[in-house]
Amino acid sequence: MGHKIAFGVDVGGSGIKGAPVDLETGKMVGERLRIPTPQPATPEAVAKVIGEIVKSFDLPDKAPIGIAFPAPIDHGVVRFIANLDQSFTGVNLLELVREQTGHSVSVVNDADAAGFAEQRYGAAAGISGVILVVTLGTGIGSALIVDGVLVPNTELGHLEIAGYDAEYQAADSARERESLTFPQWAERLQKYFETVEMLLSPDLIVVGGGVSKKYQEFLPLLDLRAPIIPAKLFNSAGIVGAAAYAEAERKRAKVGKETKRHH
């Protein structure tokens, strides 16, 4: 397979999809495979489907596997869950998938995976400093990357602004629910991004989610210090970001072992 490969899996409420990723280019190698999310979506059932997807590709033995998952992740453990079976709470997904596949595994929040992909291969590639990636959809997802290192589980969509949970007021679902025009919605986005900018002073803000395809309708209406630009990777961001994150984690573990050996 030429370049170095990692495998990315994107777990969603309706489907689980995966593909090998060329880590040099950030491109998927061949067609991704999608299997409907099992119902009920218990940890064992989801891990089994991930195993099926991984085994259907001829992967190098040492290829790491990254999983983008719709929940906050604490060292491979699911802290709490909204979109899948409640029995996921407290489960070590990393261990479950390692048992299924025999590969080195990393688990990362799905918004973090998308952000990591944009920083490595997408709209923020080659830019250092503080990068904030925000996805606007049913909710507001966020990823914060500082000089190439992911700060996990930021959940900046849940900031309280003017007495409301930010995503209730400013997510794309709010625009649709309240039939807001793009200029009306942009006023709410302005408040949201101003608040985030005051807290984090990002060097660049990248906006993803399905609505980012219509970025010309609302991004030019925002007045911020940091440049704000649309995401590039769209539907492939979860898989690509999970794969890139798995390789970054593998390297970090290797450096940690080397450091211990020299002390």
- Strand runs (DSSP E) across 112-184, as ranges? 130-136, 140-146, 149-151, 160-161, 164-165
CA-based end-to-end distance of the chain:
37
At 194, the amino acid letter reads E
Domain spans of the chain, in order of start: 5-112+236-262, 123-232
* Beta bridge partner(s), residue 78: 73
* Beta bridge partner(s), residue 73: 78
Class of the CATH-defined domain 123-232: alpha beta
* Confidence (pLDDT) at 1: 46
Contacts of 108 (CB under 8 A, 6+ apart): 66, 67, 68, 69, 73, 116, 150, 152, 241, 242, 245
Residues of the chain with pLDDT under 50: 1
At 222, the amino acid letter reads L
* Topology of domain 5-112+236-262, CATH: Nucleotidyltransferase; domain 5 (3.30.420)
- CA neighbours within 13 Å on the CB side: how many for 208? 28
Sheet containing strand 204-208, strands side by side: 149-151, 140-146, 130-136, 204-208, 228-230
Report how far residue 5's alpha carbon sits from residue 7's, in angstroms, rounded to the nearest whole number.
7
* Confidence (pLDDT) at 254: 79
* Confidence (pLDDT) at 261: 63
Q: Are 96 and 215 in contact (CB under 8 A)?
A: no
* Confidence (pLDDT) at 15: 96
